[in-house]
Amino acid sequence: MPLARIALPKGKSVQYREALTDGLQQALVETFNVPQDDQFMLLTEHAPADFVYNRHYLGIERSDDFIVIQLTVSDTRTVAQKQALYRRIVELLAERPGVRQEDVFINLVEVRPENWSFGFGEAQYVKT
C-alpha cells in the first residue's frame, strides 16, 4: 500500500540503494503493519545542481548525503504510528547503509483507501 519515492545524490552504489529500500521496507512492516511483500518504491538520483535543499533549516545540519523519502499512504495511521515510523526509518538507515539521521527527510502524503488501484483497473481497498 505505501508508494515510496526516494530521492538521493547521484552516484550511490547498488548496495547502498538496496540498503535504503530494505531499511525503509522493514520500518514500514514494523511500524505500519505493512505486509512484507507490499513493496512499491521509486528511486531517483540527482546531480548536485538538481537537488536543492537548505543545509541548516530548523537547526539541522545536512550533508551531501541528504536523502528525501516521500511516502504516499492510506490515511489510517495514528500520530504515534507516524512518529514510530520516522524514528525507525532513521535508526535502520543509520545502521545500513550508514545515513546520518540528520540527512533523512521524510514526508507522508495521506490518501483515502479508495485512491489505490494495484491492477486490473480495480480499487482493491474498496469494500463493496
Three state DSSP letters for the chain: CCEEEEEEECCCCHHHHHHHHHHHHHHHHHHHCCCCCCCCEEEEEECHHHCCCCCCHHHCCCCCCCEEEEEEEECCCCHHHHHHHHHHHHHHHHHCCCCCHHHEEEEEEEECHHHCCCECCECCCCCC
Domain assignment present for residue 85? The answer is yes
Output the pTM of the full model.
0.93
Domain assignment present for residue 50? The answer is yes
Domain membership of residue 45 as a residue range: 3-115
pLDDT digits (tens, 9 = 90+) for 70-81: 999 999 999 999
What was the pLDDT predicted at 32? 97
Our count of domains for the chain comes to: 1
Domain assignment present for residue 108? The answer is yes
pLDDT digits (tens, 9 = 90+) for 17-68: 999 999 999 999 999 999 999 999 999 999 999 999 999 999 999 999 999 9
Q: Is pLDDT at 101 greater than 90 in this prediction? A: yes
- Which CATH number fits the domain that encloses residue 111? 3.30.429.10
Domain assignment present for residue 128? The answer is no
Domain assignment present for residue 126? The answer is no
Domain assignment present for residue 32? The answer is yes
Domain assignment present for residue 16? The answer is yes
